[in-house]
Amino acid sequence: MLDQVKRITRQTAVYGLGNVLNKLLGFLLIPLYNNFIPIGRFGDLAVLETTILLFTSILHFGIFSGHQRYFFIEKEKGTYGRFLLSNYAGNLLLTMISLLPLLLLSGQISGLLFRSIDNAGLLRIAFWIVFAEILCVVPLQILQYEEKPFQYLFYNFIKLALSFTLTIIFVRYYSAGIDGILKARLAGAAATAGTFMLLVVIPRISGFFSFRDLWISVRFGFPAILGNLGFLIFQLNDRYMLNWLSTDAETGKYAFGYKIANFINLIFISTIGLSYMPSMFSREKEENNLRYYRKMLTYYCFVIAFIILGFLFFYRELMALVARNRDYQEGLAVVPVLAMSFMIMGMNYFVGVGLYLKEKMIFFLIPSFTAAGLNVLLNFIMIPGMGMMGAAWSNLAAQACYTGLLAFIASRFMKISFEWMKIAMIYFLAVILFLAENLTLSLPFIAALLIRVALLGLFPLVLYKLNFFEKIEIQRIREGVSSVFNRFSPW
């Protein structure tokens, strides 16, 4: 099993590098936002980006999930070329048909979101971004499932380099504001979608379009969209509700803090999830697969908790170098709360195994809408008095509710017996160390640095003393360390 973990780790490193490039480019744009985008306008951009994410998550009609689920099956049957043609062409047509009324009603939608029709043009650009980015997903899944991570990395790099370059040109030299940011993103997505169609999709398609193949994917994946609709509501409504219940500036501050916390999610958490999903399906019929599913959740929690602690120990100093605008700096207050929320969110890839493998996607409805209702209620209560911090704590509470319910429901269909005591141990220790680190904020930098490094080192050491690791795990860790040492030893 540890060999499988190493294999996933190697792939995660490459997929993670693609996301690192993505977020590194976004990180490099922070000074640009600080200097050229007022915090209130940054709040409008956050609402537009949230709208893009919302419709991108809905308007694929479950085809993404169906393509993932039946990729290996169709390959084994020798019918993948027809299956791909049906899924990709069907996705293109369904998305275009769905976007047409949104494009026509962009003025009314702008009035609903911004209490003004002034952003109607920006919404139309956002909807075209949705179309282009949806067309990029299936080709990326192909590269991932065919285990071609370096091609995956290359295409992402081209897309993001183009978007980054155009953003600099539009915003800095033509003072295009958020209009320029959206147009640059559209150009990058459209160029990548066209390249994917020519180099990844067309060479693999064969046969004729089949409504049956399209329906197979929609039938599997569309219930997951319904189930995830509630999840999307509580993941995205914080920016909408801040915009309605608070001010543009408060929305902008929260959006900036969310973007910084999301750095961990997109580089590490989502990347681990992307790498884990193929192995989850491919090991479905193997012996001892329950132990594999069980240990992967424990390993995830340990690794991500360590990464998040390291990030939270030093993110203030790092952000001070690039975010000098006081309005933006105030948004960093939500980062620790949202980082914890993202860590819990990543557990969903692992605790929902039973629903994926038993094809019970409709049961995602229960945790998603329960969490959404809780989140909306808490936002109404907490945002008027606490502003962005109310939205952050509401997000964390709803996320914990979602993951807990998902784990309970999935266990009804597949009993995995996750190591909940070890996971609780990880969370408890991480919170204690974070609170201890906060005591160093008033110390000189060098002293604080040394104490933080020591606290970070205590994390695995304390877990080891608490018998967190099994004997075979300790043995393999020692073998790995010894192998690395021998590789670089001059003797």
Angle at Cα 431 formed by Cα 430 and Cα 435, nearest 5°? 120
Average pLDDT over residues 289-303: 87
For residue 29, which of 172, 155, 157 has the smallest C-alpha distance? Answer: 172
Query: How do the residues of the chain divide into helix, strand and coil, expressed in percent and rounded to 5?
Result: 85, 0, 15
Bigger pLDDT: 284 or 132?
A: 132
Which pLDDT belongs to residue 227?
63
Which pLDDT belongs to residue 336?
94
- How many angstroms separate the CA atoms of 356 and 416, rounded? 13
Pick from 27-36, 136-145, 193-202 the range whose average pLDDT is largest: 193-202
- How many angstroms separate the CA atoms of 74 and 281, rounded? 13
Which pLDDT belongs to residue 11?
54
The SS3 of residue 24 is helix
Handedness of CA 71, 147, 351, 334 (dihedral sign): negative
- Is 440's pLDDT higher than 60? yes
Which pLDDT belongs to residue 292?
85
Q: Which long-range contacts (CB under 8 A, 24 or more apart) does 157-162 make?
A: 157/18, 157/21, 158/191, 158/192, 158/195, 159/188, 159/189, 159/191, 159/192, 160/21, 160/22, 160/25, 160/188, 161/25, 162/187, 162/188, 162/191
- Greatest Cα pair distance, the chain, in angstroms, is 72
Question: Which single residue is written with the structure tokens 């996705």?
Answer: 91
Q: Which residues have C-beta within 8 Å of that of residue 112, sequence separation ≥ 6? A: none
DSSP state, residue 173? I
| Side chain identity at residue 400, one-letter code | A
> Is the separation of the CB atoms in 354 and 277 below 8 Å?
no
Quote the mean pLDDT of the chain.
84
- How crowded is residue 165: how many other Cβ atoms within 10 Å of its Cβ? 14
- How many angstroms separate the CA atoms of 237 and 391, rounded? 9
pTM, whole model, 2 decimals? 0.76
- How crowded is residue 36: how many other Cβ atoms within 10 Å of its Cβ? 17
- Is 381's pLDDT higher than 90? yes
For residue 102, which of 64, 55, 60, 61 has the smallest C-alpha distance? Answer: 55
Which pLDDT belongs to residue 24?
58
For residue 386, which of 255, 209, 254, 281 has the smallest C-alpha distance? Answer: 254
The token duo for 241 is 């509700």
- How many angstroms separate the CA atoms of 388 and 409, rounded? 32
Residue 33's pLDDT band, with cuts at 50, 70 and 90, is: confident
DSSP state, residue 366? H
Which pLDDT belongs to residue 70?
84
> Is the separation of the CB atoms in 372 and 398 below 8 Å?
yes
pLDDT tens-place string over residues 53-63 = 889 888 888 88
> Is the separation of the CB atoms in 345 and 399 below 8 Å?
yes
What percent of the chain shows pLDDT beyond 70? 89
Residue 143's pLDDT band, with cuts at 50, 70 and 90, is: confident
Bigger pLDDT: 284 or 373?
A: 373
Residue 246 has φ and ψ, to the nearest 5°, of -130, -140
Average pLDDT over residues 268-288: 75
Q: Helices in 323-387 by DSSP H: which ranges? A: 326-330, 335-346, 348-351, 353-357, 365-386
How far the first Cα of the chain sits from its last, in Å, is 32
What's the Cα-to-Cα distance from 149 to each of 55, 143, 191, rounded to whole Å?
Answer: 27, 7, 20
Which pLDDT belongs to residue 47?
87
Average pLDDT over residues 207-211: 88
DSSP state, residue 362? G
Gyration radius (Cα) of the chain, Å: 23
Q: Which residues have C-beta within 8 Å of that of residue 208, sequence separation ≥ 6? A: 82, 85
Residues 92, 97, 98, 100, Cα dihedral to 10° = 120
Question: Which single residue is written with the structure tokens 């026509």?
Answer: 104
Least trusted range by pLDDT, from 62-71, 119-128, 295-304, 354-363 = 354-363
Which pLDDT belongs to residue 484?
42
Bigger pLDDT: 124 or 160?
A: 124
Residue 61 has φ and ψ, to the nearest 5°, of 60, 25
Question: Which single residue is written with the structure tokens 């408060």?
Answer: 250
pLDDT tens-place string over residues 84-117 = 999 999 999 999 999 999 999 999 999 888 878 8
Which pLDDT belongs to residue 488?
46
- How many angstroms separate the CA atoms of 415 and 291, rounded? 11
For residue 139, which of 91, 209, 210 has the smallest C-alpha distance? Answer: 91
Residue 120's pLDDT band, with cuts at 50, 70 and 90, is: very high
> Is the separation of the CB atoms in 155 and 140 below 8 Å?
yes
- Is 461's pLDDT higher than 60? yes
The SS3 of residue 340 is helix
- How many angstroms separate the CA atoms of 340 and 121, rounded? 36
- Is 263's pLDDT higher than 90? no
- Is 315's pLDDT higher than 70? yes
Least trusted range by pLDDT, from 70-74, 398-402, 419-423 = 70-74
Residue 293's pLDDT band, with cuts at 50, 70 and 90, is: confident
- Is 44's pLDDT higher than 80? yes
Which pLDDT belongs to residue 421?
93
- Is 1's pLDDT higher than 70? no
Which pLDDT belongs to residue 289?
80
Bigger pLDDT: 422 or 469?
A: 422
